[in-house]
Amino acid sequence: MRLSTKSRYGLRALFDIAYNCGEKPTQIQDISRRQQISPRYLEQIFQNLKRAGILKSKRGPQGGYCLAKKPEDITVLEILNATEQDVLLVDCAGATAKKRKRKIECPFEGQCVTQTVWEDANTLLNQLFGKLTLQTLCQRGQEMGIKKELDPRIMYYI
């Protein structure tokens, strides 16, 4: 399986929001700068994430993007499902392929032992992605020593 940049960048951007901003809205330019992702591309990705109920936006000078749920309630699987059309290793993974309306029928449907391998692998991947949350990634970020950036809009005067 090869995930698209939408999934990879979407996961990185949501990690960035959870790690650096918590519940406060953050500007797309700040996420773009920290993660080195085009702001225009982030806007496209964020539309899918908003539709999925993972992200919300707020307008105005103190606006920006923030998580719609707590980091411990957002799984990697949810993010991948919001950004990818399908999260499958191969197109012909029997039971999964039947649920979605695939364009190309497999000539070995029901007669291919390897389909069971791909279905098992998809099940294991979905279980793994379903257990990993943004909170898990934040904990890993702390363990790795990734520095948090303070909100540049907050100014302290003495």
Query: Looking at residue 140, what is its pLDDT?
Result: 96
Q: Contact, 9 vs 37, CB < 8 A?
A: yes
Query: Looking at residue 88, what is its pLDDT?
Result: 79
Query: Looking at residue 1, what is its pLDDT?
Result: 66
Please list the ranges in the chain whose pLDDT falls under 70. Answer: 1, 93-104, 150-158
Greatest distance between any 2 Cα atoms in the chain: 75
Query: Looking at residue 8, what is its pLDDT?
Result: 96
Half-sphere exposure of 145 (CA within 13 A, CB side): 0
Query: Looking at residue 138, what is its pLDDT?
Result: 96
Query: Looking at residue 51, what is its pLDDT?
Result: 96
Query: Looking at residue 118, what is its pLDDT?
Result: 86
Q: Contact, 84 vs 5, CB < 8 A?
A: no
- How many other β-carbons are positioned within 10 Å of the β-carbon of residue 70? 13
**Domains of the chain from N-terminus onward:** 5-144 (1.10.10.10)
Instruction: Write the pLDDT tens digit of every residue in 21-38.
Output: 888 899 999 999 999 999
Query: Looking at residue 153, what is its pLDDT?
Result: 56
pTM of the shown model: 0.84
